[in-house]
Amino acid sequence: MATKRKVKFIFITGGVVSSLGKGITSSSLGLLLKQRGLKVTIMKFDPYINIDPGTMNPYQHGEVYVTDDGSETDLDLGHYERFLNISMTKLNNTTTGQIYNTVITNERKGEYLGATVQVIPHITDEIKRRIELLKESDNYDVIIIEIGGTVGDIESLPFLEAMRQFMHKVGRTNAINIHLTLVPFIKSSGELKTKPTQHSVKTLLEIGIQPDILVCRSERRLTKDLKDKIALFCNVEPSSVIEGRDVDTIYSVPLAYEKEKLDEIVISKLNLKCNPLNLEKWKHFVKRVVAPKYKIKIGLCGKYIELADAYKSITEAFIHSGAENNTKVEIKWIAAEDIEKDGPEPYLKDISGLLVAPGFGSRGIEGKISAIKYVRENKIPFFGICLGLQCAVIEFARNVCGIKNANSTEFNEKTKQNVIDLMLEQKKVKDKGGTMRLGAYPCNIQKGTLAYTAYKKELIYERHRHRYEVNNKYKSQLAKHGMVFSGICPANDLVEIIELNNHPFFIASQFHPELKSRATIAHPLFREFIKASLSYSNKKKMTEEL
Task: Identify residue 539 by its one-letter amino acid code.
Answer: K
Instruction: Tell me the catalytic residues.
Output: 386, 512, 514
Phi/psi for 474 (5° steps) reads -105, 0
- DSSP character string of 339-393: HHHH-SHHHHTT-SEEEEPP--SSTTHHHHHHHHHHHHHTT--EEEETHHHHHHH
From CA 373, how far away is CA 350, in angstroms rounded? Answer: 16
From CA 407, how far away is CA 417, in angstroms rounded? Answer: 6
Residue pair 408/395 in contact by the 8 Å Cβ criterion: no
In this structure, the number of other CB atoms found within 10 A of the CB of residue 12 comes to 24
From CA 68, how far away is CA 408, in angstroms rounded? Answer: 27
Helix (H) or strand (E) holding 300: strand 294-302
CA nearest to 145, candidates 136, 155, 126, 132: 132
Label residue 317 exposed, middle or buried (CB < 10 Å: 0-12, 13-18, 19+): buried
Q: Residues near 401 by Cβ (< 8 Å), separated by ≥ 6?
A: 477, 478, 480, 481
Strand partners, 464: 439
From CA 173, how far away is CA 269, in angstroms rounded? Answer: 7
Q: Residues near 105 by Cβ (< 8 Å), separated by ≥ 6?
A: none
CA nearest to 418, candidates 428, 429, 430, 403: 403
CA distances to 34, 278, 297, 320, 525 from 288, rounded to whole Å, are 22, 18, 17, 9, 19
